[in-house]
Amino acid sequence: MKKLRTLVTTALVIALSSLGVGTASAADSGAVNCTGASHAPAARAAAAPVTVWLAGDSTMANPGAARCPVGWGSQFDALFNSDVTVRNQAVGGRSIQTWLYEGNVSSTKGSDGECRLTSGSYSSRWQAMLNASTGMKAGDYLFIQFGINDSSSTCPRHVGPARYQQLMTMMAQAALARGAHPVLLTPVAAITCSGSTATKNRGFVSQTFAAGSATGAPVIDLQTLSVSRYNSLRFCPNNGDYGGSGPLGTFFCNDHTHFETHGAQQIATLVAGDLRRQNLPLAAYLR
């Protein structure tokens, strides 16, 4: 009996000893893991590549063979790091409607005062942006800036205020539906002077802000920003002789509306600066 008790006691000691060692080992292992974790450098998340899509008119468009005009969108890519690709789809001479419905806007107005559409088919450029595999994707940005040619009284470029707001809202909603971020811009100002002061000269401003409110999209008031820049550079008064020389001539083409390369660069920096001011996530990619 005594021998049996000794054997049982010995077995219990061995079992408890094994359990204690195992528990201690697990605790020690946990302590090592926690200590290791506390000293390990935080992993830096790789920045996801972003495409910035631009839709607009000649003040935003890439230049042609001539020295002038140069749209500010052609200078935008240089302001970002290599994780951003700018796809500039702005086209000279387009209103928001002719950009969207290229070739399908007639030269006659309907009873509502708007240019009639001969077809509801979108332009190839807008279809490309909407393409599920190669167009806008989640995390991308869509910058929309029209309002210069839209003020024409004649078709096909004419667009009324309500129609303008409707189309800008539609474009912003299409971007949101794809997980992209729309950014709306008021039209950049031409240079006009009232004495020694540069003045605003574009419409569709309230409609742009209304489209932003309807969709939650941020609005960059490029008209106000550009006029403020013209005044800071003391462009007014001027004698109208731009000629490609002097501060005014290296900023504007002779039409007082479009930009030389230097002017386009200045306008692009205004847009980038407002991204920072509004603390939009895209600003993190700026150089």
Domain, as residue range, for 142: 50-285
pLDDT single digits (tens) 198-223: 999 999 999 999 999 999 999 999 99
Does residue 50 contact residue 141 with C-beta atoms inside 8 Å?
A: yes
Question: Does residue 41 belong to any structural domain of this protein?
Answer: no
What span, in angstroms and rounded, lies between the C-alpha atoms of 101 and 278?
Answer: 32
Per the listing, tokens 């140069």 go with 70
Question: Does residue 204 belong to any structural domain of this protein?
Answer: yes
Instruction: Tell me the whole-structure pTM to 2 decimals.
Output: 0.84
Question: Does residue 139 belong to any structural domain of this protein?
Answer: yes
Helices (H), ranges, 86-160: 96-100, 124-130
Question: Does residue 10 belong to any structural domain of this protein?
Answer: no
179: left (phi over 0), alpha (psi -120 to 50) or beta: left
Question: Does residue 38 belong to any structural domain of this protein?
Answer: no
What was the pLDDT predicted at 242?
77
Least confident of 30-44, 85-99, 264-278: 30-44
The DSSP result for 11-63, as a single string, is HHHHHHHHHHHHHHHHHHHHHHHHHHHHHSPPPPPPPPPEEEEEEE-TTTSPP
- Total domains in the chain come to 1
pLDDT score of 122 more than 80: yes
Percent of the chain with pLDDT over 70: 84
- Outline where DSSP puts E strands in 123-275: 141-145, 181-185, 193-194, 197-198, 219-220
Q: What is the mean pLDDT of residues 140-160?
A: 98
pLDDT single digits (tens) 9-30: 444 434 434 434 433 333 333 3
- Give the CATH number for residue 166: 3.40.50.1110
* Single-letter amino acid, residue 50: V
Q: What is the sign, positive or negative, of the torsion defined by CA atoms of 78, 81, 83, 84?
A: negative
pLDDT score of 191 more than 50: yes
The angle formed by the CA atoms of residues 167, 79 and 56, to the nearest 5 degrees, is 20
The two structure tokens encoding residue 24: 């201690």
Question: Does residue 268 belong to any structural domain of this protein?
Answer: yes
pLDDT single digits (tens) 234-253: 999 987 777 777 889 999 99
What was the pLDDT predicted at 241?
73
The two structure tokens encoding residue 178: 């794809």
Per the listing, tokens 């052609």 go with 74
Question: Does residue 250 belong to any structural domain of this protein?
Answer: yes
Question: Does residue 9 belong to any structural domain of this protein?
Answer: no
What's the pLDDT band for 34 if we cut at 50, 70, 90? very low
pLDDT single digits (tens) 69-119: 999 999 999 999 999 999 999 999 999 999 999 999 999 999 999 999 999
